[in-house]
Structure 1
Amino acid sequence: MRRSMLLSLVAVPVLLAAAPAPRAKAPFKVTWLGHAAFEVVSPGGTDLLIDPFLTQDPATPAADKDLAKYKPAAILVTHSHGDHVGDTVAIAKASGAKVIAAYELASSLGLPGDQILGCNVGGRLQVGDVTIHVVPAMHGSTPGGRPVGFVLTFKDGRSLYHTGDTWIFGDMSLIQELYHPDLLLLCVGGGPYTEDPATAALAVRKYFHPSAIVPMHYGTFPPLAKEDEVRKAFAGDKRLRVMKTGETLTF
């Protein structure tokens, strides 16, 4: 009996020492290019552009207006309005990138068929190590199919939600339930077009539990909310990350 007890006591620290240390998650990078335009580089190095309205955006830094610098695997476009389609066609033609957008919009861009990845709400696509989920947005998109948002899910389970242009809507609860986004790229612009900062903040409180919130689609043109309005609406929320155009954050 004493010998077996001694062996048990000796075995415990051996077992504890053999437990593997938790792996650190590889980072992903997000660059705000102005308005609703972002470049996202996944943990595995997959480069994606979202809503690349660049050359005509007064807020985009001059260095980021050089379209030759972009070599994305895919360009994601939330809807057909010019401040979101932007330079999609020029970048796609120069780089060979595929374009992911509502089927009607993607098909209308005049690109070769092998560069078009048309989609719709509920769809899922795989680009490199990123799974792209197509979700609703409450907005307009005429001509060119319905407006959408995109949830990018990485292999380590983390996810990023680009809301597109939208107003708060009840199905945001399902986006949280299905994809539990860690990072929100959140439309806050207000004016006559989209949800304003206060409504965007309500959407977060009501539906989401992110680790970080990056506001977008504000300050570009006079009707849109300004930075101080955004900060006021999210006052006290330490998850808010107000980016400068051209800035890159690592998550």
Structure 2
Amino acid sequence: MRGFPVRWPLFLSACLLAAPVSVLASEPANGSPQPRVVSGLRVTWLGHAAFEVVSPGGTRLLIDPWLKENPRTPAAWKELSRFGQEDAKPAAILVTHAHGDHAPDVPELARVSGALVVSTGEHLRAMKIPEAQQHSVNVGGSFRLGDVTVHAVPAMHSTDPGGRPLGYVVTFSDGRSLYHTGDTWLFGDMALIQELYHPDIVLLTTGGGRWGLDPKTAARAMRKYFKPSIIIPMHFGTFEPLAEEPEVRAAFAGDKRVRFLTPGQDTAL
């Protein structure tokens, strides 16, 4: 532009420095590096109902980490010693209930990582979690951990031994919230979970079978009670008689909020 000299190399450098920064995911599932926003929320599905969640501020959570015998957990995640490494230690392990496809690896993970273990007091004692790592909650309870707040909410299911089934809503410093339903059927108090916590991301049990929300009923629960921006199906296709992925996709056909994750893939949300 005439009369306004610009030093283009410096100008372009300034533009690049002002742009959002991203890095490459370290272990992309498809073998191709993918951009990941450094400051964003990260969710990794580990198969079935197991997730690793890393908050925008870096608070790392494991939820229902059944890994060693989980047929959908990638091999690299089955070695529980990885969670003793400084860059992989969870701040807390959230456990929804005591069934064998949700909780059996928790005592070893607690020993390896030193993390707090969050569940009902009865379940913590049944797992023989060291007292210093027990962080008991019950329906309606909440606590602050790093840059997140964890809320315990009801789930309609069973549990054995000890306590009662739970779901969890995790709220983040950026104003968003994530709801892990645990194993459940739809129930009227889901309306209160929406009213109180407005979950933006729902990790939704969808496999049905003999144990909980089947795909069509899971889709109905989302339509009737919730208004999330992202729905992530879980607890399907692991073993019979759970619904397989095509059935889940059919139930949510046309719903652009649904995202199917690949086990082991670090996903920025």
- TM-based fold match above 0.5: yes
- Distance of 2:159 and 2:240 partners within structure 1: 22
Partner residue, 1:82: 100
- Distance of 1:221 and 1:125 partners within structure 2: 34
- Distance of 1:207 and 1:134 partners within structure 2: 18
Does structure 2 retain, via aligned residues, the 8 Å contact 1:132–1:151? yes
* Letter matched to residue 190 of structure 1: G
Q: Determine if the alignment matches structure 1 residue 43 to structure 2 residue 61.
A: no
Q: Deviations over 1:72-122 (max 9, x none)?
A: 111000001011103111011011011000111012221221100011000
- Distance of 2:204 and 2:92 partners within structure 1: 21
Partner residue, 1:7: none
TM-score scaled to structure 2, two decimals? 0.83
Partner residue, 1:232: 250
**What runs of 5+ residues in structure 2 fail to find an aligned partner?**
1-36, 84-88
* Letter matched to residue 65 of structure 2: P
Work out which of the two has the higher radius of gyration on C-alpha atoms and give 1 or 2. 1
- Distance of 1:25 and 1:203 partners within structure 2: 33
Partner residue, 1:55: 68
Aligned length: 228
Normalized per residue, the structure richer in helix is 1
Give the alignment partner of residue 209 of structure 2, picking from 191, 195, 199.
191
Task: After TM superposition, list the pairs within 5 Å mapping 1:1-251 onto structure 2.
Answer: 26-70=39-83, 71-251=89-269
3-state SS of the aligned residue for 1:82?
A: coil
Does structure 2 retain, via aligned residues, the 8 Å contact 1:52–1:84? yes
TM-score scaled to structure 1, two decimals? 0.89
Does structure 2 retain, via aligned residues, the 8 Å contact 1:25–1:156? no
**RMSD of aligned alpha carbons:** 1.3
3-state SS of the aligned residue for 1:104?
A: helix
**What runs of 5+ residues in structure 1 fail to find an aligned partner?**
1-23
